[in-house]
Amino acid sequence: MSEKATLEINGEKYEFPIVKGTENEVAIDIKTLRSATGGVITIDPGYKNTGSCESAITFLDGEKGILRYRGYSIEELADKADFLEVAYLLIFGELPSQEELDKFHSDIKENSVVDDDVKKILDAFPKSAHPMGVLSSLTAALTAFNPSSVDVESEEDMYNSIVRIMGKFPVLVSWAMRKKHGLPLEYGDDNLGYVENVLRMMFKNPNREYEQNPILIDALDKLLILHADHEQNCSTSTVRITGSSHAGLFVSLASGISALWGPLHGGANQAVLEMLEAIKEDGGDTKKYMAKAKDKEDPFRLMGFGHRVYKNFDPRARIIKKAADEVLGDLGVEDPILDIAKGLEKEALEDQYFVDRKLYPNVDFYSGIIYRAMGIPVEMFTVMFALGRLPGWIAQWREMRLRKEPIGRPRQLYIGENYRPFSPIEKR
Ligand code: SDX
């Protein structure tokens, strides 16, 4: 392949370097396009063909259904690692030694108390508030209680911000759920593992000790690993562009949480369950929903299906589908919704509309079935996605800051009015 790409505009030829990634992906480096051509830019709504950065964190191959964190396959990590190990790998680039992992966890525990005044902000929310809105607000509010986490330049300052949010975020997750259910706000127990601690903070009843269930611990650990990073998806790109103004880690994460909330992105796991429930209420009439999903006049989409990158099975969906059978079996939970989901998947995979558009189940299609079996309320499903994605967002923010990336500021193609003189109101 030639090392240059040539563009011809109005008879003029312009050359741009061709760059290759370590997995032989190819990109045209157009950093000099506008200056070389006297103002010509590219345009690509939704950035379907545009790379925003070079990154060494996560590799996806959408055609082959490959997902790797720092070179390790998602299948091996989900099977052999635990969530905090994967968080360390994503953020710092290598699997930790036992000593490194123990120090990371102990630094996180040192920072897992949230200022009591944050509860006053939480109190101001109505019980009806969606937990994603609460979580985004409280995450941003943490900046006010940890001002030194804003303008971080050194790796040490970044590390301190990172362990602060890794410690406090699970507390905010549990407070968002407990507030909604009228339960007193819990803190964790430093003697527990990271995931065990999350479960205890979420589910401990005030009148009895919380009994850990190894099935729930393993299921949540695996789900958090599967959600931990996914290269430049919508919410991660939001974290990177917010962080590129040096606005600070916590508010950059808060912007990512807001982007994740959308039903086209992380909010899909809640929308999938609501869709499956509606199909169940409709007597299991999957054909009606398939028809709605294909009807261009109908805004309804088959939630949990399709993906910007995967044009093959989402490897996470395969793992979660298998885990759903195992977890429900181990918990002795019979959930007709799982059968409806499998029926819907089978129909869609055989339907020409879905086949032609390479629409497959994505990470959100089965995850909610496991969350529900674990006793996690549906409005908390996307919050669990955010908890899993936290280390990925942190890793991407840290990479962007360490690489000293410029502030993100896309161009546009103006299609509005040409110059026109102001007209006084009496003449309009
Ligand atoms: C996540 O990017 C990531 O990595 C995200 C994520 C992560 O880990 O961060 O993987 C997590 O967000 C997974 C996606 C969760 N969202 C959903 O399940 C919502 C349903 N899916 C769709 O809305 C859609 O598939 C998207 C948003 C996921 C992707 O949209 P694209 O890439 O912009 O594709 P598109 O909208 O251009 O669709 C192409 C065609 C269109 O039909 P035509 O105009 O060609 O006739 O496929 C159709 C779409 O109408 N289509 C669907 C569909 N998804 C796409 N039709 C029915 N149901 C669907 N789900």
Asked if residue 270 has its Cβ within 6 Å of ligand 1, the reply is no
Q: How far does the centroid of ligand 1 lie from the alpha carbon of residue 191, in Å?
A: 42
* Phi and psi based region of residue 129 (left: phi greater than 0; alpha: psi -120 to 50; beta: remaining): beta
Whole-number Å distance between alpha carbons of 6 and 194: 52
Q: Residue 310 C-alpha to ligand 1 middle, in angstroms? A: 10
Mutational pocket test of ligand 1: of 48, 258, 264, the residue with most ligand atoms within 8 Å of the beta carbon: 264
Q: Is 307 a catalytic residue?
A: yes
Look-up: residue for tokens 């269930």?
213
Q: What is the pLDDT of residues 407-416, one digit of tens each?
A: 999 999 999 9
**Alpha carbon of 84 to ligand 1 centroid (Å):** 30
**Does the beta carbon of 303 lie inside 6 Å of ligand 1?**
yes
Q: Is 109 in the pocket of ligand 1 (CB under 6 A)?
A: no
CB 341 within 8 A of CB 365: yes
pLDDT for the residue 1: 64
% of the chain exceeding 70 in pLDDT? 100
Specify whether 61 is catalytic: no
pTM, 2 dp: 0.96
Per-residue pLDDT tens over the stretch 77-86: 999 999 999 9
If pLDDT is split at 50, 70 and 90, which confidence band does 148 have?
Answer: confident
Give 304 Cα–ligand 1 centroid separation in angstroms. 8
By most ligand atoms within 8 Å of CB, the mutation choice from 257, 305, 365 for ligand 1 is 305
- Average pLDDT of the chain to the nearest whole number: 96
User: For residue 48, which of 35, 37, 62 has the smallest C-alpha distance?
Assistant: 62
Is 179 a pocket residue for ligand 1 (Cβ < 6 Å)?
no
Select from 366, 260, 360, 358 the least CA-distant residue to 319. Answer: 366
Q: Answer yes or no: is the C-beta of 293 below 6 A from any ligand 1 atom.
A: yes
Question: What's the pLDDT tens digit per position in 389-423?
Answer: 999 999 999 999 999 999 999 999 999 999 999 99
Half-sphere exposure of 312 (CA within 13 A, CB side): 9
Are the beta carbons of 164 and 172 closer than 8 angstroms?
no
As a whole number of angstroms, the distance between CA 103 and CA 109 comes to 10
CA distance 70 to 95: 9
Q: Out of 307, 314, 335, 356, which one is annotated catalytic?
A: 307
Nearest CA to ligand 1 atom 52: 301
Tally of CB atoms within 10 A around 245: 12
Nearest to 396 by CA among 58, 108, 23: 58
Model confidence pLDDT, tens digit, residues 268-295: 999 999 999 999 999 998 989 999 999 9
pLDDT of residue 258: 98
- What pLDDT is stored for residue 27 in this prediction? 98
* CA dist., res. 142 & res. 170, Å (int): 13
* Ligand 1 nearest atom to the CA of residue 272, by list position: 18
- Average pLDDT value for residue range 240-268: 97
Cα of 317 to ligand 1 centre, how many Å? 15
Any atom of ligand 1 within 6 Å of the Cβ of 389: no
Q: For ligand 1, atom 7, which residue shows the shortest CA distance?
A: 230
C-alpha distance from residue 245 to each of 52, 74, 238, 377 (Å): 15, 32, 12, 36
- Cα separation, 53 vs 47, in Å, equals 12
Nearest CA to ligand 1 atom 37: 308
Alpha helical stretches, state H, 117-262: 118-123, 131-145, 155-180, 194-203, 214-226, 234-243, 249-261
Q: What's the one-letter identity of residue 70?
A: R
Indicate if the pLDDT at residue 150 is higher than 90. Answer: no
Q: Give the three-class secondary structure for 234.
A: helix
Q: Write the single-letter amino acid at 341.
A: A
Element (H, E) at 273: helix 268-281
